Amino acid sequence: MNNIIHKIRQIYPVSDEALQALLTNMQVRYYPKGTYIVRAGVTDRLVYFIEEGVTRSVFHHDGQDTTTWFSQEGDVTFGMDSLYYQQPSIESIETLSDCKIYTIHINKLNALYATYIDIANWGRILHQNVNKELSHMFAERLQLPPKERYEQFNHRYPGLINRVKLKYVAAFLGISIYTLSRIRAKK
């Protein structure tokens, strides 16, 4: 669990006691590449902590897939509508590699939030950081030319370009695969 613990403590200095309580309530699961761990239209009340591997969040619409987020070692992922509002997820989460993931049910995580202020603070800061990133990505997509979006992608996700299909990166950046190929060829 080194990747998960490192990332948690990078976000907030969670005590050993609180961290142990969190880890005790998790279950390890292994997912092969290409597995949808969260499915659009299904209510999923689990939080997924990625120890090994890469996932993408994706919207399916009219036969098109649009990648909206990538998660990798140490990151947390989940379907927001399912987790917080007990409604079917509007997006899917797909494994892009074989993954080792620790899960915890939201009810158990909420109980830990109520018991350990440092876990609650970690969760709050995690969500603040994600909100900030989403806001920045939205503005970048509206304001930056494709080359600069690609540069921001590489800054945000170092090395990920070599771990995922380019069509997912292109969809994430809101550009065609041809534009992405041209940008990469000029590097």
Encode pLDDT of 111-154 as tens digits.
999 999 999 999 999 999 999 999 998 898 889 999 999 999 99
Confidence bin at 157 (pLDDT 50/70/90): very high
Say if residue 101 is exposed, middle or buried (CB neighbours under 10 Å; 0-12, 13-18, 19+): buried
Q: Does the predicted model carry a pTM greater than 0.75?
A: yes
Encode pLDDT of 72-109 as tens digits.
999 999 998 988 899 999 999 999 999 999 999 999 99
Give me the chain's average pLDDT, please.
94
Tracing tokens 């050993």 back to the chain, one arrives at: 16
Q: 18, 44, 50, 57: which is closest to 106 by C-alpha? A: 44
CB 125 within 8 A of CB 118: no
> For residue 153, what are its two tokens?
């992608």
